């Protein structure tokens, strides 16, 4: 069983539009509604693979009730923590060329008691979990140290932790030695405080995160591929993608694939790449099922192309957490 923790879940509406013209009436060709948030997406991908998963998340108001109902319909066990504020609603606009415009709401502000209730619920539901995946931005009201507290409690209970967050929350949690961290290229650059120009730069940044406490680093490099740096070595994985329909949740699908395959080594990286490549071919935040995967198209190598220039990363430097957009 894989347990996921999503401190700032959402109700996601995705519209596919022929083009995005500011100030005009834009008529969508399709629309869909999904439960959202990075940990929620990991649970959805795990469930799509036919594995058991439990989703721990704060839920409030009518949007929260709808998120719970949508997850239940997908066969996902929900461990809700009731909060006073309503769950946020997000909007994504997907254009035919793969351009995605996202509008993410800030979400409710959690009280100290609600934050503690989340930690307690994770502890109560983590028995028998192969992994605990802690994912996404922290809502207002929770300090950057909240994930660090969660990692410490989970390790004390003997659980393995995969952490997918960024900024001060990521840096604070590293001291508690999460088993896996999963930044994207932008977040990896931010964590080390310098731009990354090549895959070799990304390898060095991942090694720095390991020196700070991460057991392994699974880095999503967008269209350039994925990188794994762990105790067994350094590996690079990629797969061809003819057309991107939506990249919403692709990184979350990758993390699910990695954990499903054991969460270590080149075999798990191959699974991560296959899941991520499949996700971008699907609409909205639809998670891939086994028939969507093309594992034979995945290439994983220990001969990492260190000099290859990254095409999917911006020059990013550390910013204050309040300046970041919620994920």
Show the CA angle centred on residue 182, arms to residues 172 and 243, nearest 5°: 145
Cβ-proximal residues to 146 (8 Å cutoff; 6+ apart), any chain: 7, 115, 138, 169
Largest CA distance in the chain: 55
Cβ-proximal residues to 25 (8 Å cutoff; 6+ apart), any chain: none
| Catalytic choice (12, 252, 312, 315) | 252
Please name the residue ranges forming H helices in the chain. 38-48, 61-73, 112-125, 146-156, 167-174, 185-192, 199-212, 250-260, 265-279
Strand partners, 135: 164
Distance (Å, rounded) from C-alpha 75 to C-alpha 70? 9
Active site residue 296: no
**315 C-beta neighbours (distance < 10 Å), count:** 10
Q: Environment class of residue 102 by beta-carbon count within 10 Å: exposed (0-12), middle (13-18) or buried (19+)?
A: middle
**18 C-beta neighbours (distance < 10 Å), count:** 11
Which residues participate in catalysis according to the annotation? 252
């Amino acid at each position: 069983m894989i347990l996921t923790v999503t401190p700032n879940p959402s109700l996601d509406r995705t519209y596919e539009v022929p083009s995005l013209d500011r100030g005009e009436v834009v008529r969508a060709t399709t629309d869909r509604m999904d439960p959202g948030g990075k940990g929620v997406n990991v649970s959805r991908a795990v469930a799509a693979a036919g594995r058991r998963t439990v989703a721990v998340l704060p839920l409030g108001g009518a949007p929260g009730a709808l998120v719970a109902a949508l997850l239940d319909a997908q066969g996902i066990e929900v461990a809700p923590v009731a909060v006073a504020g309503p769950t946020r609603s997000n909007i994504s606009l997907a254009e035919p060329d793969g351009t995605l415009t996202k509008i993410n709401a800030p979400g409710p502000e959690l009280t100290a008691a609600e934050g503690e209730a989340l930690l307690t619920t994770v502890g109560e539901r983590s028995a028998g979990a192969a992994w605990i995946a802690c994912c996404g931005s922290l809502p207002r009201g929770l300090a950057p140290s909240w994930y660090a507290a969660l990692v410490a409690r989970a390790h004390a209970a003997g659980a393995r932790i995969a952490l997918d967050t960024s900024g001060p929350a990521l840096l604070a949690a590293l001291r508690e030695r999460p088993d896996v961290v999963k930044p994207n290229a932008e977040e990896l650059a931010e964590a080390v405080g310098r731009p990354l120009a090549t895959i070799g730069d990304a390898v060095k940044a991942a090694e720095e995160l390991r020196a700070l406490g991460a057991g392994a680093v699974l880095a999503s490099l967008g269209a350039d591929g994925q990188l794994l740096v762990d105790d067994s070595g350094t590996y690079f994985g990629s797969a061809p993608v003819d057309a991107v329909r939506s990249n919403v949740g692709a990184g979350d699908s990758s993390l699910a694939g990695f954990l499903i395959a054991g969460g270590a080594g080149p075999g798990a990286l191959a699974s991560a790449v296959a899941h991520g490549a499949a996700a971008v071919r699907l609409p909205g935040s639809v998670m891939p099922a086994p028939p969507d995967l093309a594992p034979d198209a995945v290439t994983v190598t220990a001969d990492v192309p260190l000099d290859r220039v990254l095409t999917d990363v911006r020059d990013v430097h550390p910013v204050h957490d309040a300046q970041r957009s919620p994920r």
